[in-house]
């Protein structure tokens, strides 16, 4: 069978293409003919070279207007003639393949209408787009249990209650997330000797807990000066966070290196003692699937997060949980880990690898009656 993944934008800014790159090789190994449509950017080409074998056919289109992008994608779909197209994010630029014989699979990884800042006409537009995805598609794949429940209810409302849906979380790639042996006595790592390291990877924005982590570390550092928080990534609050860390003399306990290339992530993750994955008690966070959570799993280190949505579904009793948005609660959990000597968790990472997810998809697609 032939499948074509439809993506948009630069993976550096729009992470939904990770699904296509992660599933491409495993699906090829399962006998699929796999194509990916991607915008022609330096980072996209780099990531394809890292993750995809030459058996995966990647078609690049130039950066252009939405209308031109849709036109370019439709032309490629006609040329490829897939049995399925997999829409990695249901946005205007990805509403393609209408009139083609292929089955349209739409993935939802977040609920736009549930974003707190989404108000007025923008919120109405988000609702319309979400309902339209049900009418447009032949099947939905939902990256969280919350999304699965929401779209099942909505499909029933518009008399499509029998349409196929799959609960389909994110995963990690074993070809990218490599566990390394790090010796802090080596010169290149000696600055971390004697430190206890917490790592966060993601967008440095208030809504994703950037300042909850910073405020927590302010509380932790006086009792545990050896604690170090590495906040890896950029985002709308990045410069504000850097200025705050400098102003409050937190430089020795918080490091914000900015964007981290995919090749360097394994080093930081192998170096760390604990991971942090902040969540908020909002519809947005209940619905979203934090892809970084799955990237943490192969390192088997304790993860501090909240009993919200996917993190709790994945970690269960193995997680370290604090009350959402509480810097004091986060600080207490950080100190608990610093003091109790816990060094690992018992969650099987292989059940959250793209190879495993691709097998689930392969079995589901063969079982589904469209």
Q: Is residue 112 part of a domain?
A: yes
d(CA 317, CA 346): 10
Domain match, 199 and 332 both: yes
Residue 83 tokens read as 């049995």
Domain match, 329 and 357 both: no
d(CA 263, CA 177): 9
Domain match, 25 and 95 both: yes
Supply the mean pLDDT for the chain. Answer: 95
Averages of pLDDT over each 10 residues, the chain, 370 residues: 97 90 98 98 94 97 97 98 97 96 97 89 94 97 97 96 96 90 92 95 90 96 96 93 95 94 91 95 92 95 96 95 96 95 91 97 92
Sequence-ordered list of residues with C-beta below 8 angstroms from that of 28, at least 6 positions apart, any chain? 34, 53, 55, 56
Domain match, 167 and 213 both: no
pLDDT at 65: 97
Q: Is residue 45 part of a domain?
A: yes
- What H or E segment, with its residue span, contains residue 219? helix 210-221
Q: Is residue 294 part of a domain?
A: yes
Q: Is residue 36 part of a domain?
A: yes
Q: Is residue 94 part of a domain?
A: yes
pLDDT at 279: 93
Q: Find the helix packing angle between 262-271 and 42-51, rounded to 10°.
A: 60
Q: Is residue 182 part of a domain?
A: no
Domain match, 142 and 55 both: yes
Domain match, 120 and 240 both: no
pLDDT at 176: 86
Q: Is residue 118 part of a domain?
A: yes
CA dihedral (187, 193, 198, 203) in degrees, to 10, reads: -30
With beta carbons less than 8 A apart as the criterion, state whether 347 and 305 touch. no
pLDDT at 175: 83
Give the three-class secondary structure for 318: helix
Domain match, 244 and 338 both: yes
Q: Residue 271: which CATH number?
A: 3.40.50.2000
- DSSP E strand stretches across the chain: 2-6, 33-39, 57-61, 84-87, 103-108, 139-142, 165-167, 196-201, 227-232, 254-258, 274-276, 303-305, 320-321
pLDDT at 117: 82
pLDDT tens digit sequence for 224-248: 999 999 999 998 999 999 999 999 9
Judge if pTM exceeds 0.85: yes
Domain match, 193 and 49 both: no
Domain match, 297 and 361 both: no
With beta carbons less than 8 A apart as the criterion, state whether 272 and 299 touch. yes
The Cβ of residue 182 has, within 10 Å, a number of other Cβ atoms equal to 16
DSSP state of 353: B
Write out the residue range of the structural domain in which residue 152 sits. 2-171+353-367
Domain match, 307 and 325 both: yes
Domain match, 360 and 260 both: no
Q: Is residue 178 part of a domain?
A: no
* Number of domain units in the chain: 2
Domain match, 154 and 229 both: no
pLDDT tens digit sequence for 158-178: 999 999 999 999 999 988 899
The Cβ of residue 13 has, within 10 Å, a number of other Cβ atoms equal to 10
């Amino acid at each position: 069978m032939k499948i074509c993944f439809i993506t948009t934008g630069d993976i550096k800014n729009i992470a939904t293409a990770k699904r296509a790159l992660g599933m491409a090789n495993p699906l090829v190994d399962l006998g699929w003919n796999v194509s990916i449509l991607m915008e022609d950017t330096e980072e996209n080409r780099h990531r394809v070279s890292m993750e995809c074998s030459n058996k995966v056919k990647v078609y690049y289109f130039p950066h252009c207007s939405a209308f031109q992008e849709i036109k370019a994608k439709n032309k490629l779909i006609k040329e490829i003639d897939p049995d399925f197209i997999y829409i990695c994010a249901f946005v205007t630029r990805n509403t393609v393949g209408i009139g083609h014989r292929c089955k349209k699979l739409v993935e939802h990884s977040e609920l736009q209408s549930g974003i707190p800042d989404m108000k007025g006409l923008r919120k109405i537009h988000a609702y319309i787009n979400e309902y339209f995805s049900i009418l447009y598609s032949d099947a939905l794949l939902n990256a969280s249990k919350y999304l699965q429940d929401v779209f099942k209810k909505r499909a029933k409302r518009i008399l499509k209650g029998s349409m196929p849906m799959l609960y389909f979380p994110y995963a990690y790639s074993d070809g990218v997330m490599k566990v390394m042996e790090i010796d802090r006595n080596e010169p290149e790592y000696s600055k971390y000797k004697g430190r206890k390291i917490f790592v966060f990877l993601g967008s440095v924005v208030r809504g994703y807990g950037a300042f909850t982590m910073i405020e927590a570390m302010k509380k932790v550092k006086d009792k545990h000066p050896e604690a170090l928080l590495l906040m890896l990534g950029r985002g709308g609050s990045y410069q504000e966070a850097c200025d705050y860390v400098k102003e409050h003399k937190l430089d020795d306990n918080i490091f914000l290196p900015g964007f981290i290339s995919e090749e360097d992530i394994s080093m930081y993750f192998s170096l760390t003692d604990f991971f942090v994955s902040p969540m908020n008690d909002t519809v947005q966070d209940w619905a979203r699937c934090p892809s970084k959570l799955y990237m943490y799993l192969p390192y088997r280190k304790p993860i501090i997060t909240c009993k919200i949505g996917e993190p709790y579904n994945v970690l269960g009793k193995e997680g370290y949980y604090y009350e959402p948005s509480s810097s004091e609660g986060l600080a207490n959990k950080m100190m608990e880990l610093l003091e109790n000597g816990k060094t690992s968790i018992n969650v099987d990472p292989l059940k959250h690898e793209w190879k495993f997810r691709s097998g689930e998809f392969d079995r589901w697609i063969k079982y589904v009656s469209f």
